[in-house]
Amino acid sequence: MELEIYQNLLLLVLITTFVMGWVVNKTDFCTMGAVSDWINMGSTLRLRSWALAICLAILITNILSLSELIDMSFVESNDTASPPYNNPIFAWSRYILGGFIFGVGMTIGSGCGNKTLVRIGGGNLKSIVILATMGVGAYLMIFTDFGYDVFLQWTSTTDIDLTDYNIYSQDLGALSSAVIQTNAYSNKVIIGFLISIIGLWYLFSSKDFRSDKHVLQSGIVIGICVAIVWYLTAGSLGQELLEEAEMIDDIPYGLGAQSLTFTSPPAHLIQLIDTGFDLVYLTLPLVAGSGILFGSLAQSIFSSSFRIEWFSSTGDFINHLVSGFLMGVGGVLGMGCTVGQGITGVSTLSAGSFLALGSIIFGSAFTMKIRYYQLVYEDDANIFTAIMASLADMKLIPNKWRFLDRV
């Protein structure tokens, strides 16, 4: 494969994610930690950092699209096209189930795919196990019949084909235009500006938020990095790349308009090794994941925070095995992770991305509550009583159905 443009694009993505990895390590940005702070301590600072990244990604992507610097309809080049955030097939059951499974997995392992790469860069060898099993889960979902046999053959029966209703995208602009009979693109622009500007106003109205430099740095950098990669792949460079790629046989896998996601990189690494290092599988997500890892490594060395960490027990090892596999399976099933759907997908105003994001947060919060009840009550709590207490806490069942007192 000889595509100089592609090589340049990968280099720019590597530089972008190197910076992101450095900042995420420095600021301790963690989506699972953000949910944990909220559920266990009532603090929303890190959750608002995540929201800041989302608002900025929406705002900048909207400006780029409005300025015609990117073409967000420019998404396909081959059968392995970009993540289908605005696909008119609304696979709601995939978003909910995949997001929930991912949320459970990231809580068991104390971090999402992005955080796993950051921790490896900081010397956490336990996260290598998560990365490996996440790769296995994602590989099975992407490159084998496992995903179809276990999930897609039945989840696809619940899909809603929006084209049956003359709706050709699942973004909020297209969906709203079907209700109020206005231009879909204009609606998308207006909704994007409203969400981002109102969101930013709400976030910065908090003095605690404005005064926390780490919270601000992580949210700003991550949001900008997501927008930069959209610009690289959906702008003039990306369009020129697709035109050149059409003239060669070995088109890079997954070529097209896309931004950051961290479930697929370990699966692409396995495929790269399995094919004898066929450079077709030297993908943008794989390079982006590498940039996060190397940026984190550089920051941990620079700050003298690099520390080797290993498992404390056999149970700890098993938890990490399970965590990675669940994230790999759930991330592919839900078409993205806390960054892939939660920031990148949401920046396109995809209804499915919002649904997946909510499901990830719910899965994580639910798992935290169950584990907390098991920790507090020890032998007095089994999985059933912990689940019932957690559901009651989340007001999903009547309080009288709980078997454990609220903690």
CB atoms under 10 Å from CB of 109, counted, come to: 28
The pLDDT confidence band at residue 83, using thresholds 50, 70 and 90, is: low
Residue 44 · residue 331 · CB < 8 Å:
no
Residue 80 has pLDDT above 60, yes or no: no
pLDDT in the model for residue 73: 67
Q: What single string gives the DSSP state of each residue in 52-103?
A: HHHHHHHHHHHHHHHTTSS-TT---SSTT-S--TT-SEE-HHHHHHHHHHHH
Interacting residues of 358 by C-beta distance below 8 A, sequence separation 6+ = 99
Interacting residues of 119 by C-beta distance below 8 A, sequence separation 6+ = 111, 126, 127, 296
Residue 252 has pLDDT above 90, yes or no: no
pLDDT in the model for residue 1: 54
Closest of 53, 16, 60, 58 to residue 31, by C-alpha: 53
The pLDDT confidence band at residue 82, using thresholds 50, 70 and 90, is: very low
Residue 74 has pLDDT above 80, yes or no: no
**pLDDT single digits (tens) 287-310:** 999 999 999 999 999 999 999 999
Mean per-residue pLDDT over the chain, rounded:
92
Closest of 236, 222, 226 to residue 9, by C-alpha: 236
pLDDT in the model for residue 72: 74
**pLDDT single digits (tens) 102-152:** 999 999 998 898 999 999 999 999 999 999 999 999 999 999 999 999 999
φ, ψ of residue 86 to 5 degrees: the values are -110, 25
Q: What single string gives the DSSP state of each residue in 369-395?
A: HHHHHHHHHGGG--HHHHHHHHHHHTT
Q: Are strands 160-161 and 89-90 parallel, antiparallel or unpaired?
A: antiparallel
Residue 75 has pLDDT above 90, yes or no: no
Model confidence, pTM: 0.94
pLDDT in the model for residue 145: 96
Residue 398 · residue 392 · CB < 8 Å:
yes
Closest of 262, 270, 269 to residue 332, by C-alpha: 262
**pLDDT single digits (tens) 335-388:** 999 999 999 999 999 999 999 999 999 999 999 999 999 999 988 889 999 999
Which alpha helices (H) appear in 280-350, and where do they start and end? Answer: 284-302, 314-333
pLDDT in the model for residue 190: 96
Residue 2 has pLDDT above 90, yes or no: no
Distance, in Å, from the CA atom of 85 to the CA atom of 88, rounded to the nearest integer, reads 9
